[in-house]
Structure 1
């Protein structure tokens, strides 16, 4: 059938769409016809919204594509789609629902729809039982909010959306509540909603939600730094191997595909290099932005005591509570007896429980509260009836707790634990010595005299603080190093002087101090020898005193003069130190220190932490979070030498058939065939057989045949 006017525009919507975008005025009548057709189809579809209507699907996308050309006509178009989605969201056919959502997103991208209305509608659509739709909406919501805050943050719109999100987290539909929590957390990680309001909404609503998925998601948000560490590990594993790609391209055959791959790898390498040069962005964890950390910790602990969730969820509760207590230095005395119940070697995830006990310790907690935890660890872990690994883990956990609350350790318990420094297993011995090293720096008076070691200058200057006492500095520590320009301090280390992480350090002075260059271990035998030498010196001094008593009165007078001179020397030294401190304080108030000055100050402070016999500083910094590796770290003697490997190889060969080529001989001592011997012969012996045979020509064959026939004729 031939059309009378050959006008196919009413049915060919893509062609009409293209023409309208080029010249809207010329095709205004055709658009009005299509829009009226859309209204009639919409009325019919509203009668049965559960069925799919392909023609309505096409015309909705057509109107959404060209709506910016006729804004007055299409003013009610988004409202009709929104009302349809609100009224029949769960009843609509999935294909039609996706069509209406995509049309609204097109209108939103062209700024034909207010952002707040569309986002509120999309949040309500998260209740729909359509996983693909929910994932699509989540991606769009995050992208749209990110684009709105790209140039400047719209605080009014953000506050309205956050208030709406607050209500969505309390929604009765668990899927909608979970998706809302995911959106808020993703916006926080993208530095869009990284304010305290977002964090406190997640803390007050998400962490106390009755929906387990929302609860777990919110708790993981406050434990998010572990995931960041894993991402860094994966990024380090996926580094671009530019050298290998260049070598492969040089050796392999040149093709267009390999050339494109090499160009792509070069681009990735340039991006990675730029990323390394960029300054790192430091984002505070959400746990620092809480308004009421004490109330949150108490609420989570009450929820933990009454919950029936699985053990992994309880561990998340313990982790968040311990971090809150440690970072904000809270008081939650009921937490410590509760966690003591889980401190058993056979307990599942016991090393993490020990980690939580260490995280919940800080200087403001009374020692009487934490002391039962230390005794429980000593009784359940640090006993010879357990394995050496269990004992070492118990000692490591004790060290981490005491590093944050040194007053919790009693003198008797510390001296008992210090006796494991000579234990037969190296893991236990090293763990005990690390505990001794800690208290040499913190409270050396609790240790036995032979375990205190040689006192450093920093230990002599440090005052033992009582419970609740804070150390307040009125000047820059170590500024005295800038007063004397004659001394130069050089610290030769692999790391910078500002960040010394326990590496071996060589300290040299131009005036001859610290003459030993070797590195000596913190061995207790050296300390015992020093004590023996001190006792011998005391005995010699006592003998000398007995001899002096027999002397005349002149000796007594000379002794009194020597004591007076010693007192005057000490007074002069104290006055000199006091004058240096006053001069350093005045210098810090009247001068701006440069980077070179701070390097000299750090070097001088580092020098105070070592002695002439020990070249390694004893200072141990308290980290914000306790790493699980610091508790599970066990020193073991690894057997990687050749003899140990051969022992394992020989043990594996026992009761096994001989490995090698089986030739099928019954008697392995009998002779072999020439073919078998050929495999072990030198190539020079087989070179003549390896040559290829030359094919005879037809003439040579004729001559050979004639010669053969003549020979046979003669033989007759």
Structure 2
């Protein structure tokens, strides 16, 4: 290669850098000249490291750019820069220090420097007072560790760096400790360091004496994981009963209003069951699940909270973490409840969050005696007519969330008192009380008054009240008894149980006499509001339910008439032929034995599970004493965390926005005559009167006539 303008190369470093990268051997002499110049400038700079040197700054980046071309000469270059940064870190000029770090990062990107050597240096540089440098180093550390673990996890490097970060969290420099905490949290959120060790190292930051580090660690455990939602396969949805099957089963029936209403109810129930399956929570190992000793951490955090002098906001964050630990891991920390009980006042700041923490810390393993005082305080302070309706509704919502996680905390007398608010004049309080009724209908219906339990269904009679600490573990697949009935009907050649031949859905048609005898479940239409899932037919069907219950009680059919008329036609025929009457307990036992026999005696296929799902839906819809199909109520929500919106959810009609008001005005103006003067003359071409013509004349022409209309005074009249 021909050399051109050699005399300009020493001053033009970018051009020399480009030429060296193209042909390193041809320009080795020029590089050696620049290298000697770099050595001399570096020795001068070490005498005054606090001064900026423009020539050395340019040469440092030049050497880093071409270091891979002369590895034998540049083998000690990286170590020289590291030694300067370690020796003169605190007194270096900010621009020179940034240049040294950029050069080292460039060498690291060219794989001329080990990651452990560079990252350990950068962690020590986090103690510097230069904010721009700390931010720059934090970005590089996160990206470098992410790139190292991109293809495969480097366990040895990760372990070394995690141990180093663990020591940095205990550093006396608050800025270095805070930056190390931010780096670990960022790496966890980027799924680079999402292992158990990282979580437990971050957990030690919750007990740091530095407030910023402690708050950052606590907020990390409060952050919600957002994993990528995986769409369910089409094959899973094929196993569900579809609305089309229901319509086909009802196609040949006579078209009546009651049949249309029943079909609508079945459609709603199928859609509800499908939504439950699609939104089934996938168990995700979040940070709180990866802790080694959650009980010890909760106790230590609570002791720290009791002796803390931090601001109220920091105490609220600590209470949130403790309540989540108690709820998720089902811990027993009895001192937590009296501590938070004293804050439960309507005028307390952030009181809705405190109510959320109380609900989160409630679970079935907490003794009801420990939660009963806090429930009494909540009812006395919030659910009282001396408070506003919003306060009462929030109190009832908090009671509902507590009882959803620990139903035994409520006693029968208090529950029946709270249920009386279903007739309260304010809509928000009434709906909150009905949501409490709805909760206990699905958990402990015997605690409610008979008129509030609703119509008993085959699913409700199977509800068994659990004692404290009892686990209801079933050794069979619920609903599997339908397979025994199906096999019998297939063997006899007749479809006695009312199912279709393909087992896709259950037949819902009845005779016209049957439909006329059945009582309607009430109007299902609610007013427009925010609570659509709180007791769909409670507001309008309470009186109907009372009448039905009284009729059933008079006839003695509530517990003994299951043999005369059942959901399953096959069972009903057998009982009618044998004239056998069974109680609820005997029927539940018989169904359990059949389900156990099927579960243990055969392998269930997808078609079997499809039939079981259809039978479970049918069981929820069918009244015990009659063949009436009615929509099942939602089961109480049981999630790990309590949403603040569930407590602050107050039923109110939303105010219309300006756009909505304008649209309503425009819709009312459609088809209306134009506003203004209406010409009512019969002949539109006839001439106008002088009065009408006067309206189009100029005002100055009519001014004298306008003045003539002014009433004159008595004196003017005398003069005239």
Q: What is the TM-score of this pair, normalised by structure 1?
A: 0.73
Q: Distance in 2 between matches of 1:538 and 1:510?
A: 27
Q: Residue 108 of structure 2 aligns with which residue?
A: 108
User: 1:331 maps to which residue?
Assistant: 332
What is the rounded CA distance, in whole Å, between the counterparts of 1:578 and 1:415 in structure 2? 31
Structure 2 match to 1:131: 131
- Give 3-state SS (helix, strand or coil) of 2:192's partner: coil
Of 551, 574, 589 in structure 2, the residue corresponding to residue 533 of structure 1 is 551
Residue 71 of structure 1 aligns to a residue whose secondary structure is coil
Closer, same or farther in 2 for the Cα pair 1:527/1:579, shift >3 Å?
A: closer
Partner of 1:343: 344
Deviation at 1:566, TM superposition (A): 12
Q: Is the 8 A contact 1:489 1:604 kept in 2?
A: no
For the 8 Å contact 2:480–2:594, the answer to whether it is kept is no
Give yes or no for contact 2:522–2:544 (8 Å, CA) kept in 1: no
Deviations 1:160-208 (A, max 9, x none): 000001011111111111111111111111111000100000112x111
Structure 1 Cα separation of the partners of residues 484 and 206 of structure 2: 55
Q: What's the secondary structure of 2:66's corresponding residue?
A: helix
Mapped to 1, the partners of 2:630 and 2:22 lie a distance apart of 83
User: Match of 1:164?
Assistant: 164
Offset at 1:459?
Answer: 2.0
1:524 aligns with 2:552: no
Pair 1:382-2:383 in alignment: yes
Say which is worse superposed, 478-487 or 447-456, in terms of deviation. 478-487
Pairing 1:545-564 to 2, within 5 Å after superposition:
none
- What's the offset of the Cα at 1:314? 0.8
- The whole-number CA distance in structure 2 between the counterparts of 1:343 and 1:52 is 61
In the alignment, the residues of structure 1 paired with residue 65 and residue 282 of structure 2 have an alpha-carbon distance, to the nearest angstrom, of 40
The CA deviation at 1:531 is 3.8
Query: Which consecutive residues of structure 2, in runs of 5 or more, have no partner in the other structure?
Result: 230-280, 487-494, 525-536, 558-574, 666-693, 701-720
Verify: 1:569 aligned to 2:586, yes or no: no
Number of the residue aligned with 2:617:
606
CA displacement, residues 405-450 of structure 1 (integer Å, 9 cap, x when unaligned): 0001112111111111111111111111111111122112222222
For the pair 1:430 / 2:431, whether they are aligned, the reply is: yes
| Higher RCO (C-alpha under 8 Å, 6+ residues apart) | 2
Report the 3-state secondary structure (helix = DSSP H, G, I; strand = E; otherwise coil) of the residue aligned with 2:459: helix
TM-score w.r.t. length of structure 2: 0.72
Matched, 1:178 2:178: yes
Q: CA separation of 1:319/1:168 partners in 2, compared to 1, >3 Å: closer, same or farther?
A: same
Q: Paired residue for 1:209?
A: 208
Aligned-pair RMSD on alpha carbons? 3.5
Give the equivalent residue in structure 1 for 2:596.
Answer: 585
Q: Distance in 2 between matches of 1:143 and 1:159?
A: 17
Contact 1:609 1:618 in 2 (8 A): no
- Shift of the 112–313 alpha-carbon distance from structure 1 to 2, 3 Å rule, reads same
The answer on whether the counterparts of 1:420 and 1:432 sit within 8 Å (CA) in structure 2 is: yes
User: Closer, same or farther in 2 for the Cα pair 1:282/1:94, shift >3 Å?
Assistant: farther
The residue correspondences of 1:395-544 to structure 2 (distance < 5 A) are: 395-485=396-486, 486=495, 487=497, 509=508, 520=524, 521-522=537-538, 523-534=541-552, 536-537=554-555
1:616 equivalent among 626, 632, 644: 632
1:347 is paired with a residue whose SS is coil
Alignment of 1:265-280 (within 5 A): none
Alignment map for 1:159-308 (pairs within 5 Å): 159-204=159-204, 206-225=205-224, 228=226, 283-308=284-309
Q: Does structure 1 conserve the Cα–Cα contact (< 8 Å) formed by 2:481 and 2:598?
A: no
Preserved contact between residue 489 and residue 603 of structure 1 (Cα < 8 Å)? no
Count of matched residue pairs: 564
Map of 1:256 onto structure 2? none
Q: Deviations over 1:506-527 (max 9, x none)?
A: 9863677998798641232223
Corresponding residue number in structure 2 for 1:392: 393
Q: CA 1:613/1:79 → structure 2, altered by over 3 Å: closer, same or farther? A: same
3-state secondary structure, aligned to 1:172: coil
Q: Does 1:319 align with 2:357?
A: no
Cα distance in 2 for residues equivalent to 1:329 and 1:281: 19
Give me the whole-angstrom Cα distance separating, in 1, the residues matched to 2:657 and 2:462.
46
Q: Deviations over 1:15-58 (max 9, x none)?
A: 21111111111222222221122122111111111110000001
